[in-house]
A = this chain, B = another copy of it.
Amino acid sequence: MAATPADVKEYPNAYVFIVDMPGLKSGDIKVQVEDDNVLVISGERKREEEEKEGVKYVRMERRIGKFMRKFSLPENANIDKISAVCQDGVLTVTVEKLPPPEAKKPKLVQVQVA
């Protein structure tokens, strides 16, 4: 199972995972969350065409086959708000952050004037 290069960026409101997937279409790629906090991106690249009569590979450097990347998500990742877009062979997965816990408001005690 081959790996594929990825960038990870942190935005104020989200984590963004960018993975090179040349030749793959959206339908060839699977994005899922395992164990509540592991983002798993997987897929399979096949050769455009099997070798057939009259066609021969003179050079074969491009990697094919199954690949997978796993990323541990930080605690404040909102696994219910994940979106994925694939364009020009680059997959971008955006995981929104949970809002920070609200600061406890000071409790106002009404003082009754006697």
Verify A23–B61 contact, CB threshold 8 A: no
Q: Which residues from chain B contact A8 at a C-beta distance below 8 Å?
A: 57-59
Interface footprint category on A: 20 to 34
In the complex, which of the residues B11, B12, B15, B23 contacts A20, with contact meaning CB atoms closer than 8 Å? B23
| Protomer copies | 2
Specify the chain B residue showing the minimal Cβ separation from A69: B61
A41 vs chain B, min Cβ distance (A): 13
Main SS of chain A's interface residues? loop
User: Is A1 among interface residues, defined by CB-CB distance under 8 A?
Assistant: no
Question: Which of A32-40, A48-56, A101-109 lies at the binding interface?
Answer: A48-56
Closest 6 CB pairs of A and B: A89-B89, A22-B89, A8-B59, A5-B61, A20-B22, A22-B22
* 25 A-B pairs whose Cβ atoms sit less than 8 Å apart in the complex: A5-B62, A5-B63, A6-B61, A7-B47, A7-B59, A7-B60, A7-B61, A8-B58, A9-B55, A9-B57, A9-B58, A10-B55, A10-B56, A11-B54, A11-B55, A15-B58, A18-B48, A20-B20, A20-B22, A20-B62, A22-B89, A23-B88, A23-B89, A23-B90, A89-B90
